[in-house]
C-alpha cells in the first residue's frame, strides 16, 4: 500500500457534564477520593487517545454489528453489514490476524487547553468558571449504591473533571488510496460520541461532550518530499457543520488489498 498523504483533524472537546476516566491512586487517604481520574506526570487530567478511539469504534460497531464488537471479525453472513464492518477495521485497525489492515486513524491524547488551565490555576482570584473547584483541577462527587434487600448504603466519592473544561484534541487520518468514505466514518463516529458519552458512569449523567472549532489540514506525500507544511483546508465551528464535499485532497485509487 502507498501512503498518499495525511489529514489532520484538530479541535476542542468541551465538557457539558463532569468527566470521569479512571486512573490510579498512589496513596490511600481516609475520607478522600475513592476513584481518581487519570492524570499526567504534572497531576493534570487528560483524555487518553485510547479512550476516545475506543468509544468511537465501540459505537460504530454497536450501530453496524454486535457480532463484530464481540469477536473483532467480519460477519460474513450479512453482506451489507460485512462491507461496513470491513471499513471499520480498515479505519480503526484489526486484532483478527486473518483480517489485518493498515489502520487509517491515529487518535492523540487530549490535554486541557491553556484557557481552562489558566482559569483553574487562578480560581482563587475569581477568574473563569471554576472558582468553587474543590481540588486543583477536579471536583469530588458523592455516589451511593443501595442493597435492594437490606437497604444498606455504600457511599463513595468519585473524582471528575468539571463541566466547562476544554481539551485540545487531535486526530490524524492516513490516506491509502480512495479513502473518502472512511473519512466520513470518522465524523460519523464523533457524532455518535457527542450524542452518547465519554468515560465512565454515562448513564448517570457523566461524560457529555461537544466537539468544536474543528480544523482540517492536509499534507500530501509530495509535501513531505518537499519538506512543506500542512495546508489548512477548512474550519468548522461545530461538528454538525462539518462538510467533506469538494475537499482539495488527492485520494488516489482504490486498492484491491489492504
Each residue's pLDDT expressed in tens, for the chain with a length of 258 residues: 788 899 999 999 999 999 988 755 544 444 455 578 888 999 899 999 999 999 999 898 888 765 655 665 655 554 444 445 778 888 888 765 555 567 889 999 999 999 999 888 888 777 777 888 878 888 877 666 666 676 665 656 788 889 999 999 999 999 987 788 889 999 999 999 999 999 888 888 888 999 999 999 999 989 999 999 999 999 999 999 998 888 888 776 654 444
User: What's the confidence (pLDDT) of residue 45?
Assistant: 93
Question: All 3 cell numbers of residue 170?
Answer: 487531535
User: What's the confidence (pLDDT) of residue 28?
Assistant: 41
CB 119 within 8 A of CB 127: yes
User: What's the confidence (pLDDT) of residue 213?
Assistant: 96
User: What's the confidence (pLDDT) of residue 134?
Assistant: 79
Q: Which whole-number Å values give the CA distances from 113 to 13, 119, 135, in the listed order?
A: 9, 10, 18
Between CA 68 and CA 160 the distance in angstroms is 32
User: What's the confidence (pLDDT) of residue 171?
Assistant: 97
pTM for the model? 0.82
Parse the chain into domains and list their residue ranges.
5-25+33-128+139-241
CB burial readout 15-41, b (16+ within 10 A) else e: bebbbbbeeeeeeeeeeebbbbbbbee
User: What's the confidence (pLDDT) of residue 1?
Assistant: 74
User: What's the confidence (pLDDT) of residue 52?
Assistant: 95
Amino acid at each position: 500500500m502507498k501512503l498518499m498523504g495525511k489529514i489532520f483533524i484538530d479541535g476542542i472537546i468541551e465538557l457539558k457534564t463532569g468527566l470521569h476516566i479512571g486512573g490510579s491512586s498512589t496513596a490511600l487517604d481516609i475520607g478522600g477520593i475513592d476513584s481518581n481520574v487519570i492524570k499526567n506526570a504534572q497531576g493534570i487530567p487528560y483524555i487518553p487517545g485510547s479512550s476516545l478511539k475506543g468509544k468511537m469504534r465501540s459505537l460504530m460497531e454497536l450501530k453496524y454489528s454486535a457480532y463484530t464488537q464481540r469477536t473483532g471479525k467480519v460477519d460474513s453472513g450479512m453482506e451489507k453489514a460485512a462491507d461496513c464492518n470491513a471499513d471499520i477495521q480498515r479505519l480503526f485497525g484489526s486484532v483478527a490476524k486473518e483480517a489485518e489492515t493498515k489502520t487509517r486513524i491515529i487518535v492523540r491524547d487530549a490535554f486541557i487547553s491553556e484557557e481552562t488551565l489558566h482559569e483553574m490555576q487562578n480560581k482563587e482570584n475569581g477568574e473563569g468558571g471554576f472558582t468553587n473547584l474543590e481540588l486543583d483541577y477536579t471536583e469530588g462527587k458523592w455516589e451511593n449504591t443501595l442493597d435492594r434487600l437490606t437497604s444498606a448504603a455504600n457511599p463513595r466519592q468519585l473524582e471528575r473533571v468539571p463541566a466547562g473544561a476544554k481539551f485540545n484534541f487531535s486526530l490524524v487520518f492516513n490516506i491509502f488510496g480512495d479513502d473518502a468514505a472512511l473519512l466520513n466514518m470518522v465524523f460519523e463516529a464523533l457524532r455518535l460520541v457527542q450524542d452518547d458519552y465519554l468515560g465512565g458512569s454515562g448513564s448517570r449523567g457523566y461524560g457529555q461532550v461537544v466537539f468544536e472549532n474543528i480544523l482540517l489540514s492536509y499534507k500530501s506525500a509530495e509535501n513531505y518530499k518537499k519538506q512543506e507544511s500542512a495546508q489548512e483546508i477548512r474550519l468548522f465551528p461545530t461538528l454538525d457543520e462539518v462538510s467533506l464535499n469538494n475537499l482539495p485532497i488527492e485520494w488516489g485509487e482504490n486498492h484491491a488489498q489492504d
